[in-house]
Copies of this chain bind each other. A is one copy, B any other.
């Protein structure tokens, strides 16, 4: 191992986050060097768009469209992958790792789907892969799970891990406006993509909770088994009803460990959730993220910060560069397992089906404003063993019109509730499918 006077960084993908990485490397070169011992020098960038002015000075940086050449360039000690997606990114990351070059990425989709292959390649190549920026943007939550809380059996993780949906829900609440109106504004402001499905329908959050579940419980990655529900169906009425009962609605990624009759299983799910308005998580507004982690020794913890954006995400990418840079300087790799638990100790853990959840629920029925409707609904709930904590009929319709009826249940089996709703939604007076929102009280 020779003494190195600097480490060369190669950046693949020069979009928003890539520009942020360049800015942080340049602007904070002094503190980075003061902590790492040598400068992190940006030596090469690869991106298909070679012409757009990104407003950063690239003097001395080799910039072309050839990502493969960047990876193979002996001046590049550390590779940053920020192009996203599964195909090209996967190929490039594998190429780098096979050549023994450490990789930093923010690509949660790739890791949630192909993590096992990528981590095996890292091990084989004797190179590290780091991905702090893939969950919670600038919040060092993966590091905290992997190392800071490593002495714990993690019991649960509840995360606001998608800024777009949190922005939309916060705006709906504050302005009393519908989902469609707020989404349109979020798109105009750049908080939501033109095709917002990835965020709004919970897929991005599902990628992230997949990684968190694996790190928390030593479970193999299981993206395909995550139950996912987005926020499209949330109405201002739901938000107001939640507020009346001391709750706020957040899109949460949730994962919990559960042992029934000696068998350990995990819950992994993304859905709108009512949480106590007084909980810290409920105070997380706008595009901010927060992840509540409960460990058996540490108890409740929470990690809060910007979940996206040029500089916050770059903060996490460059932190990873510093960490992997240390390993390059020492000629070593593999200090910590990427998913916290060593690969040979990772095991597939069965997922608890939604029907086996047991908890309080919010139900919004839509029914004709006619005598006897309430009695039919409550009768069917009762037949399935579901006990009602409170019920509100919201307003009165004109003759023959439909009105919403809002119910908060006592803790109930979700399978039983599903059966009851199936029967209720077939009643002639019920004019739309009943909406269900889960309540998490223990936050």
Residues of A within 8 A of B (CB): 20, 24, 27-28, 31-37, 132, 138-140, 143-144, 147-153, 218, 278, 280, 283-284, 290, 295-306, 309, 311-312, 314-319, 321-323, 326, 330, 332, 335-337, 340-342, 345
Task: Assess the A319–B150 pair: CB atoms within 8 A.
Answer: yes
Task: Assess the B218–A34 pair: CB atoms within 8 A.
Answer: yes
Task: Assess the A311–B298 pair: CB atoms within 8 A.
Answer: yes
Most B CB within 10 A of own CB, among A20, A303, A342:
A303
Task: Assess the B147–A143 pair: CB atoms within 8 A.
Answer: yes
Task: Assess the A302–B305 pair: CB atoms within 8 A.
Answer: yes
Q: Report how far A33 CA is from B337 CA in the complex, Å.
A: 12
What residue in chain B is nearest A154 (Cβ atoms)?
Answer: B31
Task: Assess the B151–A342 pair: CB atoms within 8 A.
Answer: no
Q: Give this chain's copy count.
A: 2
The verdict on A298 contacting B305 (CB below 8 Å), with A35-B337, A151-B318, A326-B336 known, is: yes
Task: Assess the A312–B326 pair: CB atoms within 8 A.
Answer: no
Task: Assess the A31–B300 pair: CB atoms within 8 A.
Answer: no
A-B residue pairs in contact (CB < 8 Å), sample of 24: A28-B152, A32-B151, A34-B218, A35-B345, A138-B299, A140-B148, A147-B323, A150-B323, A151-B314, A151-B318, A280-B284, A290-B302, A295-B315, A296-B311, A297-B312, A297-B314, A297-B315, A297-B318, A299-B306, A299-B309, A301-B303, A301-B305, A304-B304, A326-B336
The verdict on A335 contacting B341 (CB below 8 Å), with A28-B152, A140-B147, A315-B297 known, is: no
What residues of B have a CB within 8 angstroms of the CB of A37 in the complex? 342
What residues of B have a CB within 8 angstroms of the CB of A316 in the complex? 148, 151, 298
Task: Assess the B298–A315 pair: CB atoms within 8 A.
Answer: yes
What residue in chain B is nearest A139 (Cβ atoms)?
Answer: B301
What residues of B have a CB within 8 angstroms of the CB of A332 in the complex? 330, 332
What residues of B have a CB within 8 angstroms of the CB of A24 in the complex? 151, 297
What residues of B have a CB within 8 angstroms of the CB of A132 in the complex? 148
Q: Report how far A311 CA is from B300 CA in the complex, Å.
A: 12
Determine how close the nearest CB of chain B comes to the CB of A328; give it in whole angstroms. 12
What residues of B have a CB within 8 angstroms of the CB of A300 in the complex? 304-306
What residues of B have a CB within 8 angstroms of the CB of A153 in the complex? 27-28, 31
Q: Report how far A165 CA is from B138 CA in the complex, Å.
A: 30
Task: Assess the A148–B143 pair: CB atoms within 8 A.
Answer: yes
What residues of B have a CB within 8 angstroms of the CB of A311 in the complex? 296-299
Task: Assess the A150–B335 pair: CB atoms within 8 A.
Answer: no
The verdict on A148 contacting B319 (CB below 8 Å), with A34-B342, A326-B336 known, is: yes
Task: Assess the A140–B144 pair: CB atoms within 8 A.
Answer: yes
Q: Report how far A185 CA is from B319 CA in the complex, Å.
A: 45
Task: Assess the A340–B35 pair: CB atoms within 8 A.
Answer: yes
